Structure 1
Amino acid sequence: MSRAQKIISLITLVVIGLAGSYLRFSELSERPMHADEATGARLTSFRLNSDQPYQFNPEHFHGPLLTLTAAISCKLAGENEWSEMSKFPLRASCAIFGSALLFLPLLLYSRFGFSVAILSASLLATSPLLVYFSRMFTHEIQLTFFGLLCVILLIQLTPQRKLSYYMLIGLTLGFMFAAKETFAISVIAWFASWVLLKLPEIRSCKFGQLEQKIRPYRAPLASCVGAFLVVWLVIYSNGFSQPAGLWDSLKTYFVYQIEDGHDKAFGYYFDMLVIPEKRAIWWHELPIFLLALVGFARSFTAISHARVIRFLGYSAFIHLLIYSLIDYKTPWLMCLPWAHFCLLAGFSISGFSQWSRTLKLSSITIIAVALSIQLRTSQQASKRFHSDERNPYAYTASNRNMESLEVWLGTLNNELPAGSLSPMQVIGENYWPLPWYLRHQPMVTYTQQPTSLPDSSVPVLFVMPVHFELYSEMLSHSHVPFVRSLRNQQPMMMYLRRDLWDKWMENWPMNH
């Protein structure tokens, strides 16, 4: 590579890095807190407060890596308890992984060429799905980072690799497990892809010969498993302080409770990502899928590294198939499978340097158009439509008025006599992310199934839909009702005691 080419390559990398990071960090605190983000924040607060030690829950929550990294981020921001926490440090702990994700294809550079690495990185940087969920405080982007790192290590695995390389794979798998138990799906997909690739050899190989071929890999596999176990032991036991977490990490595969209402048709993911749909804007990531198909198809022609590309193609499509067969579906579950497709799409221009000038210019034009489409969609998904029902990635998004609720409660606290709003009561189930917006309130109680009539002396009550009828009648004389929305199409009723409302209204002309 000439000096000029190196300068161009460096500039390209800087542009991709800046663009990808901007998409992930810009206005990171603007979107209302999602219910899953709020529960993750509450778990993180237990790591910050030694009086309430963190403990892995195998029935309801995923791996401990998310809260571990978030706790570090919060402490660096000077936030040491629940009431001090803010959105940016929490989301930044994931946006960092999302930004680092787009640099992983550079590990392909020495073997597969600069063009493959740059295109893969560009697609990862601008993918609306990956941008949107890099900005969200959930487990998925950490799983995606370590999962993509693992598959990049796997496709460059050769018999000449040292034991340290296998240990690195084991560590990566360990961090995948620490992020989320669904890492097992990726292991299954990768193994199935390897079997498909090696099927002709396996069929012609006798058992004795098979055992002979496996024997040299015993030590490498042992080092891989050993590294995996180290990560598992340290993180799930919370630094060996809670050994029960190790058993719970295995038990979660049998006792995890899946919420109702997330069953989708087999083609849900394909429709969401590949089929263009006009909802205010055109939503799709068709360019990535088409480029991935080109890359996969080329692996069946006389192209270098064909078996590697085919393995990656099998992995991408098997991931998509497995997740599509599972009834429980949410958009973020596609992050790791879609990262596979971005990587596969990069191989669509494998051998670019040997192409004709006309073919190069045509390919660059097509890729530039594809990236511009993705860039615009990513901006719209993360900014204008970040909580809009028309955005397919804004799944069960919190309503924007939750932000104004927090501001209003703060104003009430400042303008009414001290302690006037305490204690507050939340009545019913499925109230997240409400606790996040009440974290500054000194006394809040939560009652899922009220056993008695409502207490008319309580200053503020938040009532979920199932109890609307009872409370609207019983509090009609003592409280003033306000309709609020937790999430899109999910209302909530707030009741403010009438004497406090009257006092607020008396002060309104003076203060406003």
Structure 2
Amino acid sequence: MPPPQKKSLSLFGLAAFAIVSLFLGAYYRFPSLDERPMHTDEAILAMKSAEYQATGHFKYDPKDFHGPGLHYITRIWSRLAGWDGSATWTEAQLRTVPVICGLLLLLTTLLLRNALGRLATGYAMLLISISPMMVYYSRYFIMEVPLVLFITLSIASLWHYSQGGGRWWLVLAGFSIGMQHALKETFVINIAAGFLGFAATKIMVGDFAPKISGYDIGASKTRAAKPWLWVILTAVITSIAIYSGGFKDWQAVMDSALTYLNYFERSGGSGHEKPWHYYLSLIFWRKDGLVWSEAMIGGLGIIGMLYAFLGNHMKQPARQAFLVFLSVYTLALFFIYSFLAYKTPWSILSAQHALTLLAGVGAAAISSSISGTFLRFAFRIAFGLGLYHLVSQTNHAIHKYAADSRNPYVYSHTSTNLMRMLPVLRELQKIAPDDNFNVLVINRDSGWPLPWYWRDIKSVHYTSAVPEKIDARVIIAEPEMKPAIEAKFDGRSYHMQDLFGLRPGVFLNLWIEQSLLDRYNLRKEQEKQQNPQP
């Protein structure tokens, strides 16, 4: 005799999952946002946001740095949060933008509760709230988490329209797709994976059977004529409006299309080449002195895929169609990104998020299939231990190893050692006589993230090559440049300080003009005498 059919998770139970997940998500995302040094990408984006805030115009660079979406979102949030002028912005303030997007992404899972199932939605939200990868990049001022938010919102909107929702769901989907383009040009990979998932679903399962959803906004008795046209037009208008700065800069709109010529070149690696299995190792097993793994999410995600194809969906054909779509979409993303030679750890975040949704499905499928007190207890213990393992890694990722190369989510990150240089320059600036203080930074990448930290010091100049003449009182440069630099001192006396780390494999020397260094040492000696150590 088959086991009795279990009731679906109640709305109260789903609300409890949501509240706990939101609490955990905020708990791991908000604290100590200024603890980690700014990554080069974060610093560049921060400067571009500050420039946009100050001038009201975003200058799009089709060769790098991506679209203006993140900067528009930052501007809106800065006004809502009551930030002061961009000159006073802090790392913690800027990083609240992806934190808020990360929490909204968590809540967006509720829009898929009928597609995933309530229990699966609850499990998925719990896993998203504590996933080391998701938490780490939700504290990173880059466009990845906002991108995943709008990708998920577009998928949820199209799902609701397929279930009888009104045309406003199409408008929301189009807006979300337009925002994806404005955030990061690589959204086309997700669009391609989505089309593959949709085509596979049509072939294997059939159409999405309509079923009125409880989250309908603007449902109507009549279906929208040419629904894809609604999506495309809204997406195009949204993208053009943002790239053009309100239909003013049409060159930026043209460049946003031409930029894909640059992306074809960069897909070959451009110094970021990784083996095909790199992303799989980020999910299942990576060891570099420490072991990191989201194998629980990966394993449950695979079970969720199997359930999509092999589970009993006789009474819910629309739900099976969505789960098959999500499975093929996820596999397509992993395949495409693994095929490309160019790889950075945050690039796979949208695929990891889709896999986590499927992990919720897998966990719910296991939970619903087992019967007996002992087995249910054993499952809860195993799931709890898995959550504990994820939480322990999350704590390591955002605190102790937040900028440590042994953390797999840390990629070409600014060294904490560089932070020792920042107060030294501030002290030198204070004691320089007659406001005669100029600094020269020579580095292949123009010293980033130093321009962010010293953005208020107008006398700091950055270059990627040794200039013909050097007259700066402070010089910061890579050790390989030492002979060329010291050959241009022209009789002036400098003292070279110890090495400072910029990022893995890149170091900086600090030269201070002797007269300025003497003043600095004298100041330190006076401070020591005034405040003797007990």
Q: Give 1:242's aligned amino acid.
A: D
1:35 counterpart = 2:40: yes
Which residue is 1:64 aligned to? 68
Structure 1 gaps, min length 5 = 203-215
1:348 counterpart = 2:362: yes
Match of 1:325 among 339, 342, 351: 339
Determine if contact 2:153/2:176 at 8 Å carries over to the other structure: yes
> Structure 2 length as normaliser, TM-score?
0.86
Q: CA deviation at 1:111?
A: 5.0
Q: Give 1:319's aligned amino acid.
A: L
Which residue is 2:273 aligned to? 263
1:77 & 1:154 partners in 2: Cα distance?
35
Aligned pairs for 1:361-400 within 5 A:
361-400=377-416
Which residue is 1:103 aligned to? 107
1:428 counterpart = 2:443: yes
SS in 2 for 1:241: coil
Which residue is 1:224 aligned to? 231
1:235 counterpart = 2:250: no
1:474 & 1:33 partners in 2: Cα distance?
32
Match of 1:289 among 295, 298, 304: 298
1:166 counterpart = 2:170: yes
Which residue is 1:53 aligned to? 57
**CA deviation digits over 1:357-413, x for unaligned, max 9?**
444333322221221111111110010000101101110010112222222222333
Q: CA deviation at 1:148?
A: 1.9
1:490 & 1:390 partners in 2: Cα distance?
17
1:271 & 1:111 partners in 2: Cα distance?
29
Determine if contact 2:492/2:513 at 8 Å carries over to the other structure: no
Which residue is 1:209 aligned to? none
Match of 2:518 among 484, 502, 507: 502
Distance 1:89 1:228, change over 3 A: same
Match of 1:23 among 25, 28, 31: 28
- Worse-superposed segment, 182-191 or 501-510: 501-510
Q: Give 1:265's aligned amino acid.
A: P
Which residue is 2:419 aligned to? 403
SS in 1 for 2:97: helix
Q: Give 1:279's aligned amino acid.
A: G
**CA deviation digits over 1:460-481, x for unaligned, max 9?**
1121355233114544962111
Q: CA deviation at 1:101?
A: 1.3
2:156 & 2:312 partners in 1: Cα distance?
19
Which residue is 1:213 aligned to? none
Which residue is 2:259 aligned to? 252
Distance 1:151 1:466, change over 3 A: farther
2:233 & 2:15 partners in 1: Cα distance?
38
1:487 & 1:311 partners in 2: Cα distance?
41
1:270 & 1:354 partners in 2: Cα distance?
28
SS in 1 for 2:33: coil
Distance 1:353 1:78, change over 3 A: same
**CA deviation digits over 1:21-78, x for unaligned, max 9?**
121111011100100011101111211222x832111111212111122234445453
- Worse-superposed segment, 383-392 or 142-151: 142-151
Q: CA deviation at 1:348?
A: 1.0
Q: Give 1:250's aligned amino acid.
A: A
Structure 2 gaps, min length 5 = 1-5, 207-222, 314-318, 529-534
Determine if contact 1:434/1:486 at 8 Å carries over to the other structure: no
Match of 2:495 among 480, 490, 497: 480
1:49 & 1:183 partners in 2: Cα distance?
28
- Worse-superposed segment, 89-98 or 293-302: 293-302
SS in 1 for 2:412: coil
Distance 1:302 1:6, change over 3 A: closer
Distance 1:477 1:451, change over 3 A: closer
Q: CA deviation at 1:160?
A: 2.9
> Structure 1 length as normaliser, TM-score?
0.90
Q: CA deviation at 1:415?
A: 4.1
Distance 1:501 1:387, change over 3 A: same
